[in-house]
Amino acid sequence: MSVVPASIIDPLREEFLRLLPVRPDSHPLGCHNPRIADAVVFDRLVLALVSGMGYERVADRACSATTIRRRRDEWIAAGVIGHLLLAVLRAYDQMVGLELEDLVADGCITKAPSGGQCAGKSPVDRGKQGTKQSQLTAGYGIPVVTVPAGANVRDHTLLAETLDEFAELTDRLDHAPQNPALSLDAGYDYQPVHTTLAEREIRPRISKRGTKTPIQTDGRWVVERTNSWMNNFGKLRRNTERRRSCTEFFLALATAIITVRSLIRRAWYTHRWDTRPRSPRIR
pLDDT at 1 over 60: no
Task: Find the mean pLDDT for residues 190-219.
Answer: 88
The tens digit of pLDDT for each residue in 105-141 reads: 999 999 999 999 999 999 999 999 999 999 999 989 9
pLDDT at 212 over 90: no
Residue 25, H or E segment: none
Task: Find the mean pLDDT for residues 203-223.
Answer: 85
Contact 197, 182 (CB under 8 A): yes
Distance CA 56, CA 79 (A): 25
Residue 273, H or E segment: none
- Identify the pLDDT of residue 30: 65
> DSSP code of 110?
E
Burial, 163: exposed, middle or buried (Cβ in 10 Å; 0-12, 13-18, 19+)? buried
Residue 147's DSSP bridge partners are 134
- Identify the pLDDT of residue 210: 82
Q: Where in the chain are the domains?
A: 100-241
Query: Quick one: fold of 100-241?
Result: Nucleotidyltransferase; domain 5 (3.30.420)
Task: Find the mean pLDDT for residues 222-229.
Answer: 95
pTM, two decimals, is: 0.93
Distance CA 244, CA 118 (A): 6
Residue 203's DSSP bridge partners are 181
**DSSP labels, 188-210:** G-SHHHHHHHHHTT-EEEEPPTT
Average pLDDT, the chain: 91
Distance CA 237, CA 20 (A): 28
Task: Find the mean pLDDT for residues 99-105.
Answer: 94
The tens digit of pLDDT for each residue in 18-37 reads: 999 988 777 676 666 788 99
- Identify the pLDDT of residue 32: 67
pLDDT at 230 over 60: yes
The tens digit of pLDDT for each residue in 149-201 reads: 999 999 999 999 999 999 999 999 988 899 999 999 999 999 999 999 999 99
The pLDDT-based confidence of 86 (bands split at 50, 70, 90) is very high
- Considering just the CA atoms, what is the radius of gyration of the chain in Å? 20
